[in-house]
Structures are given as structure tokens and as C-alpha cells.
């Protein structure tokens, strides 16, 4: 496998990358002065991908909600009956996995025996083993997990908001599915999803840390099993999503200490990835800091009135097929916070954004990017998330420098639309 080498002269970071004959993308970012190494082996497959057309087939395959998460759980079962975690413990590695809306990933961190841990990771992710008995047993385990999330205030707060923002898109569905949906999962369906989305041409391996690049490449080449790469992309099918929200308000009572709120703004400028998606993300993240950061007029007013506390935060989530920004926290009167947020947006639309604030916050964003490379885990996870959106996180600056004050002003008018906002509240029982 030929590996190319590039260096970012602005950050001093180096990266080696290449594509294996199996189709697997391999990315190695050496961090010579670090003691820890983090590796993540991921596939472009998440909870929203329940309808798709397999390359070479014509018919649409529909699978039960929650199957991506279910598959992630079942990958830890090995054909020889061994426990995957025992292998990592033997070599001092800390292994884990996660399923999100758009990614399933398997990972480990280690300070020693990196090659042995990597070999174990590559091996078990390529070793599916599903039986009728083991699949039925897992239904009870994941069913308990689903019921546990039903009692989680922060979890229900989030998905209640998504069900306000979205009418049709599967992002509004819970990642683990429902007790009913997972009851329809079979070994045959798991193998169908595995053979589709775990084809190595749909996957990437990212290693960040104090590693020998040649050794990482050799372990990878030795560990890859026979794989026929797809000659075309997997066609994922999502329903049409209107611009308007499904509703603007959701309220529920659960066992929480104080009322929780989450305010969302639905982003309707979607349908693209790559540099344009990264540029949009930078613009909206600048706006969130200008409007709602700790130095903003609104934050000061809400904090002084006791309507928010230090749990207040904001975030922007983006994918090519959906995107939204959220504000969340605790408040004695979430509806007053929601009204104040929309009032502030209308005020800024009349009075305009501050170019000084834009220049200051843009510099802060660059500082945050630099700091993100100091944590090998955060760096690797963010890198693969961006990679699966066709974004080159390594060369972030190339897009960052294009963002202008005019771009941010236009984005403000397009994104922060009161009619496309919603409020979710969880009250104490």
C-alpha cells in the first residue's frame, strides 16, 4: 500500500495516508511527543441508514430501526467464543465502540503494544458471527438499554426536540430503535447490513499518536482479509423533508432536578458535503458565539436575571442530508429563555452584526482548531467524522480563511429563522 506524506506548514502536523487494494482508506497522524495512541476503525453507516440499495442490486432494502446499533453490539461476539475485550486487556488497550446517526466506529487507546492492539481491532471488526440464539439474547439486553434511555431527561429532551424539527427524516428516530423494531432483527438482516456497509471500500482507519508509520501500515496490510471493493457507492435513501418544522413545542415530565430546555433551529440549506459544508459550519459556529457566547449581550441578560446558569451551552450538528443548531441548559422558565432568544435574533436582524465581534470570534475558532489536535482521541474522532462528510479536517485553514463577514451576515439571515425553531422542555416530576 503506497502512503503519501503531507505536512501542514501552519500547524506543523504531518499525515500519511493511502488506500489499500481492498478499498480501505488508511490515515496515520504521528504525534512523537505523546505517550498515548488512539485508533478508530469506522464505517459510513449509522442509525439513519435503514433504507438503501446495495451496489449491484436494483431493489431497495428496508431494515428495522436500530439495526446499526444492534450490529455494533453483536460484533463483539467472536466465532471461537472468545471475548474481544480480553484481547485488548492482554495488551493494555482500552477498547470501545459507538453508533451515531451516520457512523459506526470501533476504537482503542493504548500507551504500549499499539501494533498488537491494532491487529486485534482489525481482526474482530472483520469477523462477524451472528446466530439465532445470540441475536435473541441481545434483544433483551438492548431492550433494557432502550427502556433506560426512556427515563433519561437529557436523552428525551434531545429526541423530543428532533421530533419537533423534523417531520420525515430518520434523524428524529432514536439510535437504538424501539423494543418493537429490534424484535424484527434476524441474523440474515445483520449479515446483509454487515456485507453492505462493512465492505472495506465504505470504511476508514485513522491512527493518531506516537507510532511508527511503517509498522502501522504492515499491521494493516497483514490484517486485511479478502474484500471485493464496491465499484459504486451504496445508495442511501432518505424521505423528502420539508423546510417547516413538525411542531414548535414539546414538553415532558421526568425525574430531573430542575427544568431542562433545548432550543433548536432547523437548517434547510442542506444536500451537500465537502468544503461547502465545512464553510457553512464555520459560519454558523461563529454566529453561535457572537449571539449566545458568554461575552454576548443576551447571555449576560439571561444570566443576571437567573434564567440560565453555567450549564448553558450551544452546538451545531451537520450532515449532508440534515443539520441543526441547538441551545440548551437549565432554567426556571424555559419559555422566557425561548422568547428572549427569538427577540434577540430579531433585534440583531434590525441593528446588524458587529464586525469587531466577527473578527474576534473568528480568531477564537482558529485557536479551538489548534487545541483540538492536542487530544489524540478528539483529533481522531473528529477527523473520521469530517472524512465521512468528504471534508479534509487536516487542511481546515484552506476553508477557514475564505469565511468573510458578508458570508456570516448572509448565513445569519438564512439560518436563524423563528418559524423554523422549536423548544423542548423536560420538567421535574
Q: What is the pLDDT of residues 265-319, one digit of tens each?
A: 999 999 999 999 999 999 999 999 999 999 999 999 999 999 999 999 999 999 9
Provide the pLDDT confidence category of residue 83 given band limits of 50, 70 and 90: confident
Bridge partners, 425 (sequence order): 251, 261
pTM over 0.75: yes
Report yes or no: 159 and 426 within 8 Å, Cβ to Cβ: no
Provide the pLDDT confidence category of residue 100 given band limits of 50, 70 and 90: very high
Backbone angles phi, psi at 342, to 5 degrees: -70, -35
Q: Is the pLDDT reported for residue 78 higher than 90?
A: no
Question: 4-236: which CATH topology?
Answer: Cytochrome Bc1 Complex; Chain A, domain 1 (3.30.830)
- Three-class SS state of 61: strand
| 225-248 pLDDT, tens digit each | 999 999 999 999 999 999 999 999
Mean pLDDT of 396-419: 97
Q: How far apart, in whole angstroms, are the C-alpha atoms of residue 408 and residue 393?
A: 21
Strand order in the sheet with 260-266: 249-254, 421-428, 260-266, 322-330, 313-319
Residue numbers annotated as active site:
72
4-236 and 249-428 in the same fold: yes
For the chain, the distance separating the N- and C-terminal CA atoms, rounded to the nearest angstrom, is 59
Q: Does domain 249-428 have CATH number 3.30.830.10?
A: yes
pLDDT recorded at residue 81? 79
Report yes or no: 204 and 387 within 8 Å, Cβ to Cβ: yes
Q: Is the pLDDT reported for residue 80 higher than 90?
A: no
Strands 25-30 and 203-209: parallel
How many residues can be counted in the chain? 429
**Domain segments of the chain: what residues?**
4-236, 249-428
Q: Which set of grid coordinates corresponds to residue 128? A: 462477524
Amino acid at each position: 500500500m503506497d502512503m503519501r506524506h503531507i505536512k501542514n506548514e501552519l500547524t506543523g502536523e504531518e499525515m500519511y495516508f493511502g488506500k489499500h487494494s481492498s478499498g480501505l482508506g488508511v490515515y496515520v497522524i504521528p504525534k512523537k511527543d505523546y505517550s498515548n495512541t488512539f485508533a478508530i476503525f469506522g464505517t459510513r453507516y449509522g442509525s439513519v441508514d435503514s433504507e438503501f440499495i446495495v451496489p449491484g442490486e436494483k431493489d431497495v432494502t428496508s431494515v428495522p430501526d436500530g439495526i446499526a446499533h444492534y450490529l455494533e453490539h453483536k460484533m463483539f461476539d467472536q466465532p471461537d467464543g472468545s471475548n474481544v475485550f480480553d484481547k485488548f486487556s492482554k495488551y493494555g488497550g482500552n477498547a470501545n465502540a459507538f453508533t451515531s446517526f451516520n457512523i459506526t466506529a470501533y476504537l482503542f487507546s493504548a500507551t504500549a503494544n499499539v501494533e498488537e492492539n491494532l491487529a486485534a481491532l482489525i481482526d474482530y471488526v472483520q469477523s462477524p458471527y451472528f446466530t439465532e440464539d445470540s441475536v435473541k439474547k441481545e434483544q433483551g439486553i438492548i431492550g433494557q438499554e432502550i427502556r433506560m434511555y426512556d427515563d433519561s431527561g437529557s436523552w428525551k429532551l434531545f429526541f423530543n426536540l428532533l421530533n419537533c424539527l423534523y417531520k420525515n427524516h430518520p434523524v428524529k428516530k432514536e439510535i437504538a430503535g424501539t423494543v418493537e423494531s429490534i424484535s424484527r432483527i434476524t441474523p440474515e438482516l445483520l449479515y446483509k447490513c454487515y456485507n453492505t456497509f462493512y465492505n472495506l471500500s465504505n470504511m476508514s482507519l485513522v491512527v493518531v499518536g506516537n507510532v511508527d508509520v511503517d509498522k502501522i501500515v504492515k499491521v494493516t496490510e497483514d490484517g486485511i482479509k479478502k474484500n471485493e471493493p464496491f465499484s459504486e457507492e451504496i445508495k442511501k435513501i432518505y424521505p423528502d423533508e420539508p423546510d417547516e418544522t413538525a411542531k414548535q413545542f414539546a414538553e415532558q415530565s421526568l425525574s430531573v432536578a430542575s427544568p431542562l430546555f433545548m432550543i433548536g433551529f432547523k437548517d434547510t440549506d442542506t444536500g451537500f458535503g465537502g468544503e461547502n459544508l465545512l464553510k457553512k459550519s464555520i459560519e454558523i459556529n461563529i454566529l453561535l458565539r457572537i449571539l449566545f457566547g458568554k461575552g454576548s449581550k443576551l447571555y449576560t441578560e439571561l444570566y443576571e436575571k437567573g434564567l440560565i446558569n453555567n450549564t448553558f451551552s450551544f452546538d451545531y450538528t451537520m450532515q449532508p442530508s440534515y443539520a441543526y443548531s441547538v441551545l440548551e441548559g437549565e432554567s426556571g422558565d424555559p419559555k422566557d429563555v425561548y422568547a428572549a432568544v427569538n427577540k434577540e435574533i430579531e433585534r440583531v436582524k434590525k441593528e446588524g452584526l458587529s464586525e469587531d465581534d466577527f473578527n474576534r470570534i473568528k480568531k477564537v475558532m482558529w485557536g479551538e482548531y489548534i487545541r483540538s489536535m492536542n487530544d489524540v482521541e478528539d483529533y481522531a474522532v473528529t477527523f473520521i467524522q469530517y472524512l465521512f462528510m468528504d471534508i479534509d479536517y487536516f487542511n481546515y485553514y484552506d476553508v477557514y480563511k475564505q469565511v468573510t463577514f458578508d458570508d456570516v451576515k448572509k448565513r445569519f439571515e438564512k439560518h436563524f429563522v423563528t418559524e423554523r425553531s422549536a423548544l423542548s422542555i423536560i420538567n421535574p416530576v
